[in-house]
Structure 1
Amino acid sequence: MPEAIIRRFSAIDRKRWNALWQDYNIFYERSVEDRVTERLWSRLLENSGEPYGFAAELDGVVVGFAHYFFVFSTSDWNPRCYLQDLYAEPAARGRGVGRALIEAVYAEADRKEAAQTYWLTQEFNHTARRLYDRVGKLTPFVKYQR
Structure 2
Amino acid sequence: MNLSNPEVTIRRINGDDKAQWLALWQGYLDFYRADVAPQVTDRTFERLGQDEQVYGLVAEDAEGRLLGLMNLVFHPSTWSAVGYCYIEDLYVSPQARGRKVSEKLFEQAYRLAETRGSDRVYWMTQEYNAPARSLYDKIGRRSSFIVYTR
With structure 2 as the length reference, what TM-score do the two structures score?
A: 0.88
Relative to structure 1, the CA distance from residue 132 to residue 3 in structure 2 (aligned partners, 3 Å threshold; closer, same or farther) is farther
Query: What is the count of residue pairs matched by the alignment?
Result: 142
**Distance (whole Å) between structure 1 residues aligned to residue 84 and residue 105 of structure 2:** 17
Distance 2:59 2:117 in 1: 24
Provide the identity percentage: 40
Query: Which position in structure 1 is the counterpart of 2:56?
Result: 53
In structure 1, what is the Cα distance between the partners aligned to 2:134 and 2:95?
Answer: 17
- TM-superposed deviation, 1:70: 1.2
1:125 CA displacement: 0.5
Unmatched tracts of structure 2, length 5 or more: none
1:69 aligns with 2:49: no
Higher relative contact order (CA 8 A, sep 6+): 1
How far apart, in 1, do the equivalents of 2:8 and 2:135 lie?
Answer: 16
Instruction: Provide the residue aligned with 1:13 in structure 2.
Output: 17
Tell whether 2:141 aligns with 1:137.
yes
Matched, 1:42 2:65: no
- Pair 1:87 & 2:91 matched: yes
**Structure 1: 5+ residue stretches without partners:** none
Structure 1 ranges of 4+ moved more than 3 A: none
Q: CA deviation at 1:10?
A: 2.1
Q: TM-score, normalised by structure 1?
A: 0.91
Note the C-alpha offset of 1:142: 6.0
Q: Which has the higher strand share?
A: 2
Rounded to whole Å, the distance in 1 between the matches of 2:116 and 2:6 is 29
Distance 1:11 1:142, change over 3 A: closer
Partner deviation per Cα, 1:2-43 (whole Å, 9 max, x = no partner): 442101112221111000001100111110001100101111
RMSD: 1.6
Structure-2 residue corresponding to 1:110: 114
Contact 2:92–2:102 (CA<8 Å) still a contact in 1? yes
Q: Which moved more, 1:22-31 or 1:50-59?
A: 50-59
